Structure 1
Amino acid sequence: MSTDTPSVLIVEDEPDLANLYAAWLESDCDIETAYDGNEALDAIDGTIDVVLLDRRIPGLSGDAVLDTIRDQSLDCRVAMVTAVEPDFDIVELGFDDYLVKPVSKDELVDIIDQLLLRATHDEQLQEFFALASKKALLDDQKTEAERRSSQEYAELEDRMAVLRVQVNDTMRELLEQDGYRQLCQDITRESVFQE
């Protein structure tokens, strides 16, 4: 991931919308745009930090682009930005977050900030945050009865429960290590001196 200006790829088949997103983000990000799935894959070369990906695009679908990104273990975070209402099929998709159009400038900026922050965490925390995002989205979009009757949703909750225990165990182990405790104290002290 880049340490300076984040690199964002906007994958959107409507040029006016892609240009609007680019205009919103260009003061804080290096922007590239792609208007179909094949173009998107050509643009992802290891320098992209965040992909804003529409699900319905010509050529390869957004879902297929996402699968390719994950299959190739490309080091980028992916937010689906789409008019496709989420359904339980999202549980199996490898995105990091999901926004339903229309979206505002603030929503895009916030999601990029969140994804860049998540990218600094280990894989376990990244997976936990991605699952939590999916759960929150489905909680908002689906009724309780729909959620209770969904096998995918039950599996999502089970996976989150397992990860929650693993994350808590990892944190407990780290806190028990004197070196980690000292590192945290050093970081806190450094932050105080910089203010």
Structure 2
Amino acid sequence: MSANPHVLVVDDEPDLAELYASWLRDEYTVETAHDGPSALEQFDETVDVVLLDRRMPGVSGDEVLEQIRNRGTDCSVAMITAVDPDFDILELGFDAYLTKPVGETALKDVIDRLLRRSDYTDTLQTFFSKLSKREALMAEKPQFQLDADERYQRLEAEIETLRQQSESHLAELDGEDFEALFYRLDS
């Protein structure tokens, strides 16, 4: 995630997209798009969060979401829509679902939660990668060689730092976020 998170607001109602953007500009880099093709044109790897209207004429939010996911980025997507959720949402790859009307506080809260989840996921993936390296070395090298190697000692220090960061991130997530995160990691 970038130092100043990048949010793309996509809604076919320009006034609503601009209202959301005005609420967010003090804290985030914000772009707006008013249809699916424009959203896909503006979307790139720098976008951290997409706020996506589900029902738009032409290319729907569902289609935009599918194309975003097909690009393989780790961006979070919140569907913001007047459509009440039904079982069809089980097939969609969004990270949060908000039903309109959405207020400023709710909008900022969902973005903050999604950014925290992203931080936690990145930290956790790095942590597990380092653990795998340690396990491989431990299976092949005697302990005295591991203890004497500076690179291994750095690895151990990195693992401890990542463990602490993971615990810190985990403490920030509430029960709902924690559960949603593990569903996302499991998919």
Number of the residue aligned with 1:88: 87
Number of the residue aligned with 2:48: 49
Q: Equivalent residue of 1:122, what SS?
A: helix
Cα 1:182–1:119 change in 2 (3 A) is closer
What's the TM-score, normalizing by structure 1?
A: 0.64
Name the Cα RMSD after superposition.
Answer: 2.6
4+ long deviations beyond 6 Å: 184-187
Inter-partner Cα distance in structure 2 for 1:56 and 1:5: 29
Number of the residue aligned with 1:27: 26
After TM superposition, list the pairs within 5 Å mapping 1:129-144 onto structure 2: none
Counterpart AA for 2:47 = I
Inter-partner Cα distance in structure 2 for 1:6 and 1:31: 9
Number of the residue aligned with 1:69: 68
Inter-partner Cα distance in structure 2 for 1:186 and 1:74: 26
Question: Are 2:33 and 1:11 aligned?
Answer: no
Q: How much does 1:58 deviate?
A: 2.4
Inter-partner Cα distance in structure 2 for 1:184 and 1:41: 34
Inter-partner Cα distance in structure 2 for 1:89 and 1:120: 28
**Any unmatched runs of 5+ in structure 2?**
136-155, 166-187
Cα 1:49–1:182 change in 2 (3 A) is closer
Q: Equivalent residue of 1:121, what SS?
A: helix
Counterpart AA for 1:24 = W
Deviations 1:36-66 (A, max 9, x none): 0000000101111100000011221000000
Question: Who wins on radius of gyration, i.e. which is larger?
Answer: 2
Q: How much does 1:17 deviate?
A: 0.6
Cα 1:181–1:20 change in 2 (3 A) is same
**Any unmatched runs of 5+ in structure 1?**
127-169, 188-195
Cα 1:56–1:184 change in 2 (3 A) is closer
Cα 1:69–1:184 change in 2 (3 A) is closer
What's the TM-score, normalizing by structure 2?
A: 0.66
Give the length in aligned residue pairs.
Answer: 138
Number of the residue aligned with 2:107: 108
Q: Percent identity?
A: 55
